[in-house]
Amino acid sequence: MKNSRRDVCISLKKFLSVLLLSIILLTATADAAYTDNTAQLQPIELPIIMYHFLVDNKGEHHISPGEFERDLIFLKENGYNTIGISELIAFVHENRPLPPNPVMLTFDDGYYNNYVHGFPLLLKHNSKAVISIIGDHTDIWSKNFYEDLESGHMTWEQIREIVDSGLVEIGNHTYSMHLIKHGRKGCRRKDGENLLDYQRLFGRDVNRLQVRVLEECGFSPALFAFPYHAVCEDAIHVLQILGFRAAFTGSGKSNTITPGDSDCLFDLKRTNRSRLRPAEAILQQ
């Protein structure tokens, strides 16, 4: 009986010793991971490449599917890693490390050819992208869809499909202000326009698309993309009030992204990928 009790005590001591050692090892591992993460969180230079149409050479903003695939192959073979906007936000706000040599691929307007030609290539090469959609165009094409690879837009069903892949994130490109009309360029405030009137107008438009994306996809975009690079500081203030975390603004070679600096996310510049300027040329400027 005494031997049995002693054996139980010895077993219990061994169990407690193993448990204590496990806790120590787990704590040390967590501390090491935390140390490694904080060591990586230095400012980075992030190039952002902007695409529009993926169709055979029709104009400056049109590149062929083959040219887009060559961009993806170049990125992969040269050690670049495509990231989404959520990863960038997490890097700034949550101290989450990014992969080495990050680059962001973006598409404006949500064209149908992005879905037909671009999405399969993203899947093939396991590459990520951000597509900023125009709300009224998406609603119109969802109700009256027909095949138009040159100027057609994606439907909500197609948008849900690309989002569900985990490779594509959606940005807000206004609901119906992607126009140059009546003295206004995109969503920029007009000269002499009453500030409060402008903020109400812009806020209603942007929030309308936020609600539509939420209804159709179950989330609201964290990113806003200014049409025509027509940036407006008054608009940025409204975006921040509405809960946006980032904005694509003007054009530029790259962006300095600093952890903890939320302002840098509201001035993300992009380089247009034209027929004469492939990804290789953009990244080696």
Tens digit of each residue's pLDDT (9 = 90 or more) over 189-237: 999 999 999 999 999 999 999 999 999 999 999 999 999 999 999 999 9
- Is pLDDT above 90 for 58? no
- Is pLDDT above 80 for 251? yes
Same domain, 106 and 11: no
Same domain, 34 and 51: no
pLDDT cut 90: percent of the chain above it: 79
Same domain, 120 and 4: no
Average pLDDT value for residue range 54-60: 81
Tens digit of each residue's pLDDT (9 = 90 or more) over 141-187: 999 999 999 999 999 999 999 999 999 999 999 999 999 999 999 99
Q: How many domains does the chain have?
A: 2
Same domain, 101 and 13: no
- Is pLDDT above 90 for 14? no
Q: Name the CA radius of gyration of the chain, rounded.
A: 24
> Are 269 and 104 within 8 A, CB to CB?
no
Same domain, 241 and 111: yes
Average pLDDT value for residue range 87-116: 97
Full domain range(s) for residue 279: 43-283
Same domain, 121 and 209: yes
Same domain, 31 and 166: no
Average pLDDT value for residue range 255-273: 96
Average pLDDT value for residue range 106-110: 98
Count of beta carbons in the 10 Å neighbourhood of residue 126: 11
Same domain, 11 and 111: no
Same domain, 171 and 266: yes
Q: What is the pLDDT of residue 39?
A: 53
- Is pLDDT above 80 for 31? no
Same domain, 2 and 107: no
> Are 121 and 97 within 8 A, CB to CB?
no
Mean pLDDT, the chain, whole residue set: 88
Q: What is the pLDDT of residue 61?
A: 78
- Quick one: DSSP state of residue 266? G
Angle of the 233-242 helix axis to the 195-217 helix axis, nearest 10: 40
Q: What is the pLDDT of residue 284?
A: 85
The pLDDT confidence band at residue 35, using thresholds 50, 70 and 90, is: very low
Residue 85's domain is classified under what CATH number?
A: 3.20.20.370
- Is pLDDT above 70 for 53? yes
pLDDT cut 70: percent of the chain above it: 85
Q: What is the pLDDT of residue 15?
A: 40
| Cα three-residue angle 83-84-90, rounded to 5 degrees | 95
Q: What is the pLDDT of residue 218?
A: 98
Same domain, 6 and 102: no
What DSSP line would sit under 161-183, residue for residue?
HHHHTTSEEEEE--SS---EETT
Same domain, 260 and 123: yes
